Amino acid sequence: MVALENVSRRFPMDHQFVSALDDISLSLGAGEFVAAAGPSGSGKSTLLHLIGCIDQPTSGSIRIDDVETRRLSPAQLSELRRRKIGFVFQTFNLIPVFTAFENVEYPLLLQRVPPRERRERTREALESVGLGPRAGHRPDLLSGGERQRVAVARAIVHRPALVLADEPTANLDTTNATQLIDLMRALNRQLGVTFLFATHDPRLLDRADRVIRLCDGRIVTDGAKETTHENVSFARL
């Protein structure tokens, strides 16, 4: 589903170039639940930004569903993100003046989904994360755990094949972090969505099927174990 071949990303700094990622090659299959781990500055977030088409590699190839992303125009990259990729950020990135319902609905507005279908899918996405009764609340009236669950609902409402999560449990206490991990694991198993996390949270690393460990922009280990996933239709969301 996702394939990186000899990918590097370098940034200019003090009249020289610094490598955030250096000659990375990996692939992600459909339905995987994968963690990218490593210390700060190891390249985890850069990896997610490249796979999510938020950034482009300095060299190498990234293919999503066999489409070479470097050959796409900015408009085509934006369309790819809207159709195939969901994002969950450490700081939630919710629109503060929107209710939970409106935040989750927003990706469907961008896709011009008809109003009736849009409302139904938004309602079902919020119910799937246990927030149906909180749909009318703005982010400032929600707890940290609830805000992150709204972010997960927003990430899955457009039925992406891939969800990228950057330190999703970093701002949550143990109870909320555990609930969030259980929720994402259930969505992975029930809907077959591929999840890739950037994290150093041992609670999340313990639940991953595969851990890709990075250091200084390189993969140092990539450990996978066999797992099975339930085949449940996307019609649920």
Question: What CATH number is given to the structural domain containing 7?
Answer: 3.40.50.300
Is residue 212 a part of any domain in this protein? yes
Q: 69-82: buried (b, 16+ CB within 10 Å) or exposed (e) per residue?
A: beebeeeebeebbe
Q: What is the pLDDT of residues 90-115, one digit of tens each?
A: 888 999 999 999 999 999 999 999 99
Is residue 64 a part of any domain in this protein? yes
User: Percent of the chain at pLDDT above 70?
Assistant: 94
Contact 59, 7 (CB under 8 A): yes
Q: Which domain holds residue 85?
A: 2-94+160-236
Question: DSSP string covering 78-146, please?
Answer: HHHHHHHEEEE-TT----TTS-HHHHHHHHHHHTT--HHHHHHHHHHHHHHTT-GGGTT--GGGS-HHH
**pTM for this one?**
0.86
- Say how many domains are in the chain: 1
Is residue 119 a part of any domain in this protein? no
User: Percent of the chain at pLDDT above 90?
Assistant: 74
Helix or strand or coil: residue 33? strand
Is residue 142 a part of any domain in this protein? no
Is residue 209 a part of any domain in this protein? yes
Is residue 112 a part of any domain in this protein? no
Q: What is the pLDDT of residues 8-46, one digit of tens each?
A: 999 988 878 889 999 999 999 999 999 999 998 899 999
Mean pLDDT for the chain overall: 90
Among 85, 96, 23, 11, smallest CA distance to 54 is for 85
Is residue 117 a part of any domain in this protein? no
Is residue 166 a part of any domain in this protein? yes
Tokens 């669950």 correspond to 149
